[in-house]
Amino acid sequence: MNKNTSSTALSILIPVYNSERTIDRLVEELIRDLGSLFKLEIILVNDNSVDRSEEVCISLFDKHRETVKFYSLSKNVGEHSAVMAGLNRVTGDFAVIMDDDFQNPISAVVKLVNTALENNYDVVYSYYEQKRHNLFRNMGSWLNDKAANLMLKKPSGLYLSSFKVLNNFLVNEIIKYKAPFPYIDGLILQITDKIGTVKVEHHERKEGKSGYTLRKLVSLWLNMFTNFSILPLRLSIILGLIFASLGLFLGVKTTIEKLIDPDLPVGFASLLISISIFGGIQLVMLGMVGEYIGRIFLSLNKKPQYTIRKAYEYHGENS
């Protein structure tokens, strides 16, 4: 280690989903490897797993009451909302967010924290020379990266990894966001440009399979598009102007051709294609506007980011 971090309070936040086979060993190894290096707390947030993850997390709390906190959500809300639940309960100088499947190496936690300390970064992201996700997940990550470059003005070389460390200042700013559909990386990019990166190894998933599905990836993209950018609405204006101009041009062209040759038949096929194209574009744009309005409606009605059903915290001998 480059610095003495024994006085540094470190919170490790792990969103838990169907990880009954890994979470016990992960927590035990975190305590073994990092417990002497930091003032350590581990925050476990169960995102309504359908296996025995909750029972395992409760047993971990019972075994390590002074280190482990456990929160069980009443329904599945997705990774980013589960992370928000945990961030609202961390107490450390730094908070490391990591997965529950051993793909994030424990040894890299020290590198992340040291990089943040040495450079006074608000956040340090990990990045991988070679990712061990499946092809579908890698494609989703690539699309998410390109969309973030466009929508969030993310630096093109920055990989928005879920494995990262945030300082206390950034955590306190992020949890001020109370609207539904949080996107953690979007909030980070809105708050700070003091961002660092550290290359780490990406391990094979030890058990189970990724919880990311096409539906969840689409939901994540919609959160990015509609919560942190108005670019889709501006794009709809530009497309509307382009196709309106094209329609005007075709209308003028058809009128001139008809005047030149009165016997020229008006093409039914071209008319049908034009209606289909313009109608489809209008429906897409109306749907996009409806998505924005729907999210405004849910925000005004105070749709919760998450609801905690059970909380396990140690408050001394009377806990």
Structure tokens at 248: 């005007």
Query: Comparing 53-57, 186-190, 199-203, 240-244, which segment has the lowest mean pLDDT?
Result: 240-244
Sign of CA dihedral 110, 113, 116, 118: negative
- pLDDT over 60 (residue 243): yes
| Segment 144-175, tens digit of pLDDT | 666 666 666 777 788 888 999 999 999 999 99
Residues 219-244, buried b or exposed e (16+ Cβ, 10 A)? ebbbbbbbbbbeebeeebeeeeeeee
Which of 280, 281, 174 has the alpha carbon at shortest distance from 228?
A: 174
Give the model confidence (pLDDT) of 70-84 as tens digits: 999 999 999 999 999
Q: Is residue 2 predicted with pLDDT exceeding 60?
A: no
User: What pLDDT score does 293 carry?
Assistant: 81
Tell me, what's the pLDDT at 316?
75
Instruction: Read off the pTM.
Output: 0.76
User: What rounded mean pLDDT belongs to the chain?
Assistant: 83
Composition of the chain by helix, strand, coil, percent to 5: 50, 15, 35
Instruction: Return the percentage of the chain with pLDDT > 90, whole number.
Output: 49
Higher pLDDT, 232 or 119: 119
